[in-house]
Structure 1
Amino acid sequence: MYDWVRVVDFDNNILYMNRAMTEDLGELTPGKKCFELIGRSEPCENCVSRKAMLEGVSEEKEEKINDRTFSVMSSPLRNAEGRVIAIVEVLRETTQLKMLYEKTQEQNLILKKDVEMARKLQSSLLPGPISDPRADLSLIYMPCEELGGDFIDVFYIDSSHMGIYIADVSGHGVQASLLTVFLRSTLNKKLLSPSMALEELYREFNQSRLDEELYISIFYSIIDLDNKTMLYSNAGLNVAPVVYSENRFELLRMPGIPVSNWMKKPGYRDGALDLLPGDKFFLYTDGILEMRDINNEQFGEERLLEILLKGQLDPRKMLLKIKNSAFSFAGIRSADELSDDVTLALLEIK
């Protein structure tokens, strides 16, 4: 398919048509107006050729001719003195491209609706507020996309034991969202050993035969609210949760590979900790640490821990202080500007 090319004068008379246009629309007859050639009785609305004549610069628009779509480029033709004497029109058919664009837009709309449904599903899986005289919990969850790769869950195993985990799965978007759904639906919430639950999750992940590039990093703890003890295990989360109060400050560093299909036996183990009334358990993902200022410096662990050390605020106020400090450091005003998911949780033992 060749472009149509024609030359039009100031009175809309066609002075010349190339072979491609002649073969498609017929031979040029003297005095034929440009708009008559395409079956119209008067000049086209928003005529770009007229505008190109008056302003002396090229103009472009999309034009529907019968059942075909064209991109029309009108450029001024000048004489030796530089005066505009006619207009050269180049019409390139974009019918197939237009149809493809419209089909793509339809598919994008369907995908957008699917993503919105997935976002609502993911949001519905997040834990709600707890009402328990033995503990106070606050959460901040800010995905950098509509569907996040971070996830957190809090649940009761029995009347005494509370499970809480924070996870960072590979990627973002729909793929990451599906991994968070897999995590929540597969983790055994009856076992009282975090390492055993992670081992079982690891086996289930491998049986699912997921891609090697997919993985789940998760720190899982089980708190005995009556006896004030905690067991915890780590499957590759690259930040250290913190237990702190006015008189203690402990980083819960523990090695462990992510839930993946990288090896047969991950070798998870449990750590144990005694808790006291007033102790706070802080969990987070690396999104808060990796926020950068104008000098490309990260917010980092040191600044985060300093905020915890200097203040004994209730969980909600402390998380807001951390968030506001990090946002101020990075010079951002809303979660829409985040480049990675940010998830924070703070549990206070009563």
Structure 2
Amino acid sequence: MIHKLLKKTKKDTNIPLKDLLQLLDEWNALYNKADQAYWLVNLAERRFIFVSPSCEKICGVPPEAFYQDVEVWKKIIHPEDREKIQKKRSVLWKGNSFEHEYRIIHQRDGTVRWVLDQTFPAFDENGKPAILSGVVTDITEIKKMREKLLLAEKVYEHVQQAILITDENGFIQFINPAFTEITGYGSEAIGLSLDFLHSGYYNENFYQTIRKTVIEKGQWRGRLRGRRKNGEVYVQQTTITAIHDQEGHPIFYLFIFSENEKTATNLKDDLKLAQEVQKRVLSKPLKTESIDIYGMYVPSEELGGDMYAWYQIDNDRYGIFLMDVMGHGVAASLICMSVRSLLNGVIRKCIYPKEVFHELNKHMRLLYHEDGRMNTYYFTAVYVMVNTKKRFIEYASAGHPPGFLFHQNGLVEELDQGCAPIGLLSHLHVETGKLNYAPGATLVLYSDGVIEGPNSSVRTNIEMFREKLKSFIHLENKSMITRMHKMFKEEYQFTDDISLVVAKLH
């Protein structure tokens, strides 16, 4: 009734008094909504002619008090708002409209409440203002909600962790300044799918696994590689939480992540020692009549998780392994060393890529997932079993950049078959690849530090690196590694470790 009346008085500024009273009668003048009070004042006599009973619920004063004293409302207004509001309400007696939010004090329970006061004049047959019609709405709860939203907004603005909210379909609805600071993306990200934030290091199965975990368990925590707007790759500690409606259906997804902090200054000496130990466990060059293997490791400033190793399994077979633990620092190095300690036994026992990866995955799940937290520690890897007698390689890549097999005729084949990173899933589905080679072929494996650069496309960086390798591939191993090391020093900014393994197949 009140909304219709207000709409009518706003639309028709010359509504006659008799028509107004008729409207009141038609729309039920005893309107009694708990959070709204309606009133009418006769301007000529400056007295209330109607106050809805609901006013007592809002302000603690019955309608009769207003009939007896037209100024009673002034006493209800909060003392701190009284002077300001009285000045603004002075326009009412001139027949002007009024709309303002302010505080009142409930006269029975003493609580402070916020109200929205809206007043509109009604005119007589001569077009002169005759009646003031008004609505007072209790907006206390709305005000509290606004304050909570304001508080949340300020928290989002100043929290150091990046906050991202998507709808149920994965389209971004909200970001905070920390998100922009870390990723470089601002308001242009709103409305986009999360896909544009993917670093290019993981396939769709990896992201499907994360989504499945969030849907089934409500949350996922772990480390992810992200890619900034400028193309730079970084590691982020991420928590993804599903937000459900009352029926239990997911309506939003909350992403909170932060960039891993650098190692504290007072640990630099220890880290340098750890780096030296890490380099010493790398396999030494191996040279036989049928194969020549050489490796290169260039550490970044931080302690990382790169490691390569190779073993002669029997007279005709060799196992070559390269891994990269997600993240930097002591944790990544310890995981790297734990894998290195059992790698010899695993490769000699399992031999083939599928069995090797299953055994390593079991090891990672046993050691680093006992507390039930999913997807916290994992590593990417590539493993190649070389059969020098039958001249073929069998390989698998666990979320790792594809290696290359360069043939003497100029053909280059990528090692692109495999599975999810080791330790990510409780069970791996491993697809292996098999490639034949002729004498003179060269196998090249590398870590992702090689393909991190300013380009936004990982695929572009892989192809660029493959083309650079072509100019060195004719060289013998040691010369090739020396030339590549010089190129890395001159052209690369070491944001991550760089590992490179070259195997000449005779």
Equivalent residue, structure 2, for 1:214: 377
Given the alignment of the two structures, is residue 289 of structure 1 paired with residue 451 of structure 2, yes or no? yes
Equivalent residue, structure 2, for 1:341: 497
SS of the aligned residue for 1:181 comes to: helix
Given the alignment of the two structures, is residue 250 of structure 1 paired with residue 413 of structure 2, yes or no? yes
- Given that residues 396 and 415 in structure 2 are in contact (C-alpha distance below 8 angstroms), is that contact kept between their aligned partners in structure 1? no
The structure 2 residue matched to 1:201, chosen from 360, 382, 386, is 360
Equivalent residue, structure 1, for 2:305: 149
Equivalent residue, structure 2, for 1:51: none
Report the CA distance between 1:275 and its aligned residue: 2.1
Give structure 2 stretches of 5+ with no counterpart. 1-263
CA distance in structure 2 between the aligned counterparts of 1:222 and 1:316, rounded to whole angstroms: 22
CA distance in structure 1 between the aligned counterparts of 2:471 and 2:368, rounded to whole angstroms: 46
- Given that residues 193 and 270 in structure 1 are in contact (C-alpha distance below 8 angstroms), is that contact kept between their aligned partners in structure 2? no
Report the CA distance between 1:233 and its aligned residue: 1.1
Report the CA distance between 1:256 and its aligned residue: 1.2
Task: Rate the CA distance shift 1:173–1:226 in 2: closer, same or farther, 3 A.
Answer: same
CA distance in structure 1 between the aligned counterparts of 2:499 and 2:295, rounded to whole angstroms: 8
Report the CA distance between 1:157 and its aligned residue: 1.6
Report the CA distance between 1:141 and its aligned residue: 0.3
SS of the aligned residue for 1:276 comes to: coil
Report the CA distance between 1:146 and its aligned residue: 5.3
Report the CA distance between 1:326 and its aligned residue: 4.3
Task: Rate the CA distance shift 1:285–1:326 in 2: closer, same or farther, 3 A.
Answer: same
CA distance in structure 1 between the aligned counterparts of 2:279 and 2:334, rounded to whole angstroms: 13
- Given that residues 218 and 234 in structure 1 are in contact (C-alpha distance below 8 angstroms), is that contact kept between their aligned partners in structure 2? yes
CA distance in structure 1 between the aligned counterparts of 2:265 and 2:303, rounded to whole angstroms: 16
- Given that residues 292 and 329 in structure 1 are in contact (C-alpha distance below 8 angstroms), is that contact kept between their aligned partners in structure 2? no
- Given that residues 325 and 380 in structure 2 are in contact (C-alpha distance below 8 angstroms), is that contact kept between their aligned partners in structure 1? yes
CA distance in structure 2 between the aligned counterparts of 1:176 and 1:125, rounded to whole angstroms: 15
Equivalent residue, structure 1, for 2:394: 231
Equivalent residue, structure 2, for 1:300: 461
Give structure 1 stretches of 5+ with no counterpart. 1-106, 331-336
Task: Rate the CA distance shift 1:208–1:220 in 2: closer, same or farther, 3 A.
Answer: same
Greater relative contact order: 1 or 2 (C-alpha under 8 angstroms, separation 6 or more)?
1
Identity over aligned pairs, percent = 26
SS of the aligned residue for 2:390 comes to: coil
Task: Rate the CA distance shift 1:321–1:245 in 2: closer, same or farther, 3 A.
Answer: farther
2:274 alignment partner AA: A
| TM-score normalised by length of structure 2 | 0.43
SS of the aligned residue for 2:295 comes to: strand
Report the CA distance between 1:117 and its aligned residue: 4.2
Given the alignment of the two structures, is residue 267 of structure 1 paired with residue 436 of structure 2, yes or no? no
2:479 alignment partner AA: K
Equivalent residue, structure 1, for 2:402: 240
SS of the aligned residue for 2:449 comes to: coil
CA distance in structure 1 between the aligned counterparts of 2:298 and 2:362, rounded to whole angstroms: 30
CA distance in structure 2 between the aligned counterparts of 1:193 and 1:158, rounded to whole angstroms: 13
Equivalent residue, structure 2, for 1:189: 347
- Given that residues 325 and 336 in structure 2 are in contact (C-alpha distance below 8 angstroms), is that contact kept between their aligned partners in structure 1? yes
- Given that residues 407 and 438 in structure 2 are in contact (C-alpha distance below 8 angstroms), is that contact kept between their aligned partners in structure 1? no
CA distance in structure 1 between the aligned counterparts of 2:426 and 2:389, rounded to whole angstroms: 36
| TM-score normalised by length of structure 1 | 0.60
User: Deviations for 1:236-277, whole angstroms, at most 9, x for unmatched residues?
Assistant: 11x1100012212111112410012x4322111321122221
Larger CA Rg, structure 1 vs 2: 2
Equivalent residue, structure 1, for 2:240: none
CA distance in structure 2 between the aligned counterparts of 1:166 and 1:204, rounded to whole angstroms: 17
Equivalent residue, structure 2, for 1:175: 331
Any runs of at least 4 consecutive aligned residues in structure 1 with deviations exceeding 6 A, and if so which? 296-299
SS of the aligned residue for 2:419 comes to: coil
1:47-62 correspondence to structure 2 within 5 Å: none
- Given that residues 143 and 149 in structure 1 are in contact (C-alpha distance below 8 angstroms), is that contact kept between their aligned partners in structure 2? no
CA distance in structure 1 between the aligned counterparts of 2:366 and 2:488, rounded to whole angstroms: 40
CA distance in structure 2 between the aligned counterparts of 1:271 and 1:136, rounded to whole angstroms: 22
CA distance in structure 2 between the aligned counterparts of 1:113 and 1:243, rounded to whole angstroms: 39
RMSD: 2.5
Give the number of the structure whose residues are more often helix, by fraction: 2
CA distance in structure 1 between the aligned counterparts of 2:277 and 2:468, rounded to whole angstroms: 34
Task: Rate the CA distance shift 1:174–1:286 in 2: closer, same or farther, 3 A.
Answer: same
CA distance in structure 2 between the aligned counterparts of 1:194 and 1:326, rounded to whole angstroms: 30
Task: Rate the CA distance shift 1:286–1:108 in 2: closer, same or farther, 3 A.
Answer: closer
Report the CA distance between 1:290 and its aligned residue: 1.1
CA distance in structure 2 between the aligned counterparts of 1:246 and 1:346, rounded to whole angstroms: 15
CA distance in structure 2 between the aligned counterparts of 1:340 and 1:108, rounded to whole angstroms: 18
Task: Rate the CA distance shift 1:320–1:108 in 2: closer, same or farther, 3 A.
Answer: closer
CA distance in structure 1 between the aligned counterparts of 2:437 and 2:443, rounded to whole angstroms: 10
Equivalent residue, structure 1, for 2:316: 160
